[in-house]
Each structure stands twice: as C-alpha cells, then as structure tokens.
C-alpha cells in the first residue's frame, strides 16, 4: 500500500461512532493489534533491506575497485571510488527503498500511539454518557 492509502485507512479506522461505543471499545484492540503487526513487519523488512544494502555496497565497491569478476573499466583511486559509490544507481535505489521503509515504520509507530489515545477517547465518551445519565 502507498503511504496515502495507509493514511486514508488510518483516518477511517480512527473514527469513533458515538452510538456504538461498546463495539468501538472491542474493535480498538483489534485495530491496534493490526497496526502493531504492520509495525513489526515493517521493522523486519527494514532490517532485511539494510542487510541487503550492506551487501550491495560491498559488491559495488568491489566492482569499482577492480576486485569483482566484472570490473569497472577505469582504474580509480579511493576518492573516485567513494564518489562513484555515492552516485551509483543501484545504491541510490536501495537507499530510496530504505527511506520509504523508515517512513512507514514511523507511520505505524505513530498509528499505534493514536490507537492508545483512541482508547482513552472512547473511555471518556463512556464516562460522559454515564455522567449525563446520572450514574
């Protein structure tokens, strides 16, 4: 899912129907668990991509340094290797992927916090209804 789709889904999931507070209470825990499992999956994927990034950096370094079977056509010094690594398309693509995963990870962490707050909002609405009914 794209980040925009995730935001729209979160916005819909956070809405509280005042006429169904008991249902909202039970669904809140399920929604929190769903977003928490998404958070864990995002963490696992981020770690996997970070490991793949280290391997890619090593392979691309070997390519530019002349240690790989398929080597770069020019003989480069250390500064030129670093410059080429910083602009390497494969590395940049992997960095974009990692950045998006970090943003998703932050999104799911904040979503979990919002569901904790949603639980308090539901409890406050129930307490207000009790107070208004004289209980």
Rounded to the nearest 5 percent, the helix, strand and coil shares of the chain are 85, 0, 15
pTM here is 0.82
pLDDT score for 126: 87
pLDDT score for 33: 94
pLDDT score for 130: 86
Distances (CA, A) of 131 to 43, 78, 87, 121, 135: 43, 73, 64, 15, 6
pLDDT score for 23: 87
**First CA to last CA across the chain, in angstroms?**
45
pLDDT score for 134: 81
pLDDT score for 68: 84
DSSP 134: T
Mind listing the pLDDT tens digit of every residue in the chain (135 residues)?
888 999 999 999 999 988 888 888 889 999 999 999 999 999 999 999 999 999 999 999 999 998 888 888 888 888 999 999 999 999 999 999 999 999 999 999 999 999 999 988 888 888 888 888 886
């Amino acid at each position: 899912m794209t980040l925009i789709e995730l935001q729209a889904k979160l916005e819909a999931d956070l809405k509280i129907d005042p006429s169904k507070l008991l249902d909202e209470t039970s669904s809140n825990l399920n929604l929190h668990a769903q977003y928490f499992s998404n958070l864990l999956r995002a963490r696992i994927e981020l770690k996997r991509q970070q490991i793949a990034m280290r391997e890619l950096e090593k392979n691309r370094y070997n390519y530019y340094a002349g240690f790989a079977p398929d080597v770069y056509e020019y003989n480069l010094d250390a500064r030129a290797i670093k410059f080429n690594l910083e602009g390497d398309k494969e590395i940049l693509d992997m960095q974009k992927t990692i950045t998006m995963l970090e943003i998703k990870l932050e999104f799911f962490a904040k979503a979990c916090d919002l569901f904790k707050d949603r639980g308090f909002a539901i409890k406050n609405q129930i307490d207000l209804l009790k107070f208004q009914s004289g209980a």
